[in-house]
Amino acid sequence: MFVFKIDEDVSLRLIELNDAKKIFKLTDKSRTYLREWLPWLDSTAKVDDTKGFIQGCLKGYAENKSITTVILFDGEIVGVAGFNSIDWSNKTAYIGYWLGEEFQGKGIMTKVAKALNDYAFSYLNLSKVEIRAASGNKKSRSIPERLGFVKEGCIRRAEWLYDHHVDHIVYGMLAEEWSSHK
């Protein structure tokens, strides 16, 4: 089982099918909060929807195309993070993440994103990591900014969010920048 211990409080574990109820409960509890920036909340109406998501994640992992983990804080699932996709031909990983509302503001996601970068560059030997966030999502954008990512540009109308488009800001970190940044 893939487990990546970040510190005494925070670790990442490969997502498992038996996490579905806990993840769905966390999603449901934070539904209104998460819906502001995540497009999949309306299609996650029952535990089986979360099971379907996890099955897709496990398929991606088995095919070496992605790594999806649960974020554990004091042993409790508080969110999901990982490499939504890994482009091996270009040696690039794309980080995605979300955190339950009540766990915001504790520095958890910054630690998680930092650990994912360490993993991408040290263990997977990738050359670049990207994080994309909606231009108006200040909390999500603060993660790559805090970690020293370079703002590479804006993709206009990158995502349909229920009833409107949002632009995405693209942040990038190169392996050589990360080693000198740490």
Which one-letter DSSP state was computed for residue 19? G
- The pLDDT tens digits of the residues spanning 110-135 come to 999 999 999 999 999 999 999 999 99
Long-range (24+ apart) CB contacts under 8 A made by 133-139 are 133/37, 133/168, 133/169, 133/171, 134/37, 134/158, 134/159, 134/161, 134/166, 134/167, 134/168, 134/169, 135/166, 135/167, 135/168, 135/169, 136/166, 137/36, 137/37, 139/104
* Predicted TM-score (pTM) of this structure: 0.94
Q: What is the pLDDT of residue 16?
A: 97
Residue 79: C-alpha distances to residues 23, 128, 154 (Å): 7, 24, 26
30-54, pLDDT tens digit by residue?
999 998 999 998 999 999 999 999 9
Domains located in the chain, CATH noted? 3-181 (3.40.630.30)
- Residue range 11-27: average pLDDT? 97
